[in-house]
Amino acid sequence: VWLTFLVAKRFYGSKLIGFCSAVFLAVSSYHVFYSRVVIPDACVTFFVMLSVYCYLLGMEKNRSFAALSGLFCGIAFCMHYRVAIFLLYIFIFEVMKKYFGNVRVEKSIWRYAVFLVSAIGTILLLSMAVYQRTGVSYFAMLEYFFTRFSLYNFDLFSFLSLPYYIW
């Protein structure tokens, strides 16, 4: 909830909007339910919000926050594969900042590249750690679930509904 306040305050520049965002999250039945049940959704939400906050700090301060943002995004991806679409959201955000703001293209490309390399590096390192510990690659597990539950047919519906098939 505190992280939601920080992100909204930094993004919109208003403490009131940050406070309202935090209150809406705190009383949301979805958030309350998934925060008390042991499933990765609450942790993924935390790491994605932390990634967004660090990325916003990286836009204002320096690229080391973009690398930290990529690290948190990679951790979130290893908890839940749907976070992969977040990489596309950050790219769209950078494109919109370029066209609707006065941001230099080189700076945006460099910041996104640092974010992307950090995220992919984290995903690969965590995948190697899982492989060393269990003998099964994280990507092999994803491939197994995709081929088993989507009948060798990858489409958007099977990507979005895979966790419900597993349960």
Write the pLDDT tens digit of every residue in 2-33.
Answer: 999 999 998 888 999 999 999 998 998 888 88
Amino acid at 113: A
Structure tokens at 90: 């950050």
Phi-psi region of 152 (alpha: psi -120 to 50; beta: other; left: phi over 0): left
CA 3, CA 5: separation in Å to the nearest integer?
5
pLDDT at residue 167 in the model: 39
88, 141, 49, 27: CA torsion to nearest 10 = 120
Average pLDDT in the 78-99 region? Answer: 84
Query: Which two structure tokens, joined as six digits, stand for 26?
Result: 């705190």
pLDDT in tens, 45-77: 889 999 999 998 988 887 789 999 999 999 998
% the chain with pLDDT above 70: 85
pLDDT at res. 48: 92
Q: Percent of the chain, pLDDT > 90?
A: 28
Annotate the chain with DSSP letters as a single string. -HHHHHHHHHHHS-HHHHHHHHHHHHT-HHHHHHHHSSSTHHHHHHHHHHHHHHHHHHHHS-THHHHHHHHHHHHHHHH-GGGHHHHHHHHHHHHHHHHHS---HHHHHHHHHHHHHHHHHHHHHHHHHHHHHHSS-HHHHHHHHHHHHTTT---HHHHHHHHHHH-
Report d(CA 83, CA 104) in Å as an integer. Answer: 27
pLDDT tier at 155, thresholds 50, 70, 90? low
Better pLDDT: 103 or 44: 44
Within 10 Å of residue 147's Cβ, how many Cβ atoms? 12
